[in-house]
Amino acid sequence: MPGVVIVGAQWGDEGKGKATDVLGSRVDYVVKFNGGNNAGHTVVIGDQKFALHLLPSGILTPGVTPVIGNGVVVDISVLFTEIDALIERGVDPSKLLISNAAHIIAPYARTLDNVTERFLGKRKIGTTGRGIGPAYADKINRLGLRMGDLFDEQLLRDKIEGSLEQKNHLLVKVYNRRAITVDEVADELLQYRDRLEPMVTDTSLVLNQALDRGETVLFEGGQATMLDVDHGTYPFVTSSSATAGGASTGSGVGPTRIDSVIGIVKAYTTRVGEGPMPTELFDEMGDFLAEVGHEYGTTTGRRRRCGWYDAVIARYAARINGLTDLVLTKLDVLTGLEQIPVCVAYDVDGVRYEELPQDQAAFAAATPVYEYLPGWTEDISGARSFEDLPQTAQDYVMALEKISNCRISAIGVGPGRDEIIVNHDLLHVRGA
Ligand code: GDP
Ligand code: IMO
Ligand code: MG
């Protein structure tokens, strides 16, 4: 039985939350393996809309065990705000498990995120301000606090002290902020200890045992390929491994246990924050995509930058993640366009690039080479099989499949849980 990974194939907000939710009824565990509350997933169930940040989208499916893996950074106060809001709406989060090795976003990480951005000025990343970068920096610097540390108060205080020694120099001498005390950090974190105790465990063991029993585990990536710290548009990226490899390191499940990797792509492109985006539109077509697609961030409310589908990026995502399938979302948003431009390659100073330029300046200078595909005017939100789509919409999907180098196994035609066309079995085992 499969281990299935879901990753974003663009710059995030492709509809990963909905895809996880759709598959949720067929899986036993949903694991978030990277990122933190910088993510924002909107899931629409009937007339109810849920916005999730830190919790895996599987939390909305009864019977599924949601897991926060070791690769995630956890803001504990946000965790409980989100849990309590779900309980109020009748969702039962009692099965949630959290890795004892997941790192904690300490209160000073949020402060440092915001002051660093301010000091970067025009070089800023446009972060979500949730303390993600500083929390991962502490992890890599071996100065981080882990969930398991909460249950050894002396160890926790000792680690906070070690971390603050350096932070306070920075905060006071460089950023002109007040110093933070060990007590205030320890008190804030320790207030959650009793509530956390039943959730925090060795989740790698739990997941591997589930796979041994033949159960299905879905690994849900936050952010996306182009925001991955290694493979994205560095330095305009997030601080974690958002690509498929991150599913293994971020959960403690080996790569041999992963059977399929599903990439989620929008039928166009969006990006939040700074950094290059070759197909970005600055005209009324960009406004059209933003308004019809409701492209406003789930986490920060920022308007997303919008542009046409970029097949260079889709091919890159297929390669970096070893994608077995693509889920194409938001096809309905393109309804009503006479022609739909699709970027098939880049032009950089007169040179054609079929693959992503690895040079930061070349990528920043890339202009899209477009092919133009005919559009459709029919409402497609009621389509439930590929044949229900108008011929030109079918042709658009087939053209995207070809130039993206990966089969398209499902097509989103609206935000609702049932507004999807499933073309192939998404939980297939490669080669079966
Ligand atoms: P995520 O971060 O990848 O989970 O994506 P977000 O939830 O941030 O953004 C995707 C948005 O698109 C959400 O508001 C979804 O409800 C919505 N959505 C997902 N799939 C479709 C679709 O096929 N059509 C339309 N119109 N909306 C969709
Ligand atoms: P989901 O999971 C879109 C972007 C931020 C910023 C950069 C770094 O909903 O797809 P960070 O706070 O992570 O240090 O910010 O990454 N970013 C996202 N953009 N969707 C997300 O998550 C994002 N998470 C971070 O806008 O440019
Ligand atoms: Mg999102």
Mean pLDDT value across residues 225-246: 98
Please report which confidence band the pLDDT of residue 299 belongs to, taking 50, 70 and 90 as the band edges. confident
Whether residue 235 has a cis bond before it, omega within 30° of 0: yes
Long-range pairs for 243-246 at CB < 8 Å and ≥24 separation?
A: 243/7, 243/320, 243/321, 244/5, 244/7, 244/320, 244/321, 244/322, 244/323, 246/33, 246/34, 246/71, 246/221
Q: If we measure between CA atoms, which residue out of 373, 369, 348, 371 comes closest to residue 360? A: 348
pLDDT digits (tens, 9 = 90+) for 113-171: 999 999 999 999 999 999 999 999 999 999 999 999 999 999 999 999 999 998 999 99
The alpha-carbon radius of gyration of the chain (Å, integer) is: 22
More confident residue, 429 or 184: 184
Phi, psi for residue 109 in degrees, rounded to 5: -65, -40
Output the pLDDT for position 430.
43
d(CA 228, ligand 3 centre) in Å: 15
**In CATH, what is the architecture of 3-92+202-422?**
Alpha-Beta Complex (3.90)
Pocket test for ligand 2, best of 38, 41, 78 (most atoms within 8 A of CB): 38
- What percentage of the chain exceeds 90 in pLDDT? 93
CB-based contacts of 73: which residues, under 8 Å, 6+ apart? 35, 36, 102, 103, 104, 105, 131, 132, 135, 136, 139, 240
Are 11 and 226 in contact by the 8 Å Cβ rule? The answer is yes
Mean pLDDT value across residues 333-349: 98
**Alpha-carbon torsion 273, 275, 279, 280, what sign?**
positive
| Pocket (CB within 6 angstroms of ligand 1) | 8, 12-18, 39-42, 44, 298, 329-330, 332-333, 412-415
Output the pLDDT for position 428.
66
Average model confidence (pLDDT) across the chain: 95
Mean pLDDT value across residues 248-268: 97
CA distances (Å), 279 to each of 309, 353, 369, in order?
7, 14, 9
Output the pLDDT for position 35.
98
More confident residue, 21 or 428: 21
> CA 134 to CA 46: how far, in whole Å?
38
| Pocket (CB within 6 angstroms of ligand 2) | 8, 11-13, 38-41, 125-128, 130, 132-133, 222-224, 227, 238-239, 272-273
Output the pLDDT for position 205.
98
Output the pLDDT for position 70.
98
Q: Which residues of 374-409 are buried (b: 16+ CB within 10 A; e: fewer)?
A: ebbeeebeebeeeeebbeebbebbebbbebbebebb
Whether the predicted pLDDT of 304 surpasses 50:
yes
d(CA 14, ligand 1 centre) in Å: 6
d(CA 295, ligand 2 centre) in Å: 14
CATH 1.10.300.10 domain position(s) in the chain: 103-196
Pocket test for ligand 2, best of 75, 125, 227 (most atoms within 8 A of CB): 227
Among all ligands shown, which has an atom nearest to the Cα of 32? Answer: 2
Report which residue type is found at 22: V
- Write out the DSSP string of 68-125: E-TTBEE-HHHHHHHHHHHHHTT---TT-EEETTPEE--HHHHHHHHHHHHHHGGG--
Q: If we measure between CA atoms, which residue out of 283, 348, 281 comes closest to residue 312? A: 348
At residue 177's C-alpha, the angle toward residues 176 and 178, to 5°, is 130
Mean pLDDT value across residues 395-419: 96
Mean pLDDT value across residues 408-412: 97
CATH 3.90.170.10 domain position(s) in the chain: 3-92+202-422
- What percentage of the chain exceeds 70 in pLDDT? 99
Output the pLDDT for position 1.
55
Q: What is the number of helices (H) and of strands (E) in the chain? A: 13, 20
In this structure, which CATH number among 1.10.300.10, 3.40.350.10, 3.40.50.2300, 3.30.365.10 belongs to the domain 103-196? Answer: 1.10.300.10
Task: Enumerate the active-site residues.
Answer: 13, 41
Q: Where are the beta strands (DSSP E) in 100-250?
A: 103-104, 200-201, 217-220
Please report which confidence band the pLDDT of residue 211 belongs to, taking 50, 70 and 90 as the band edges. very high
Whether the predicted pLDDT of 431 surpasses 60:
no
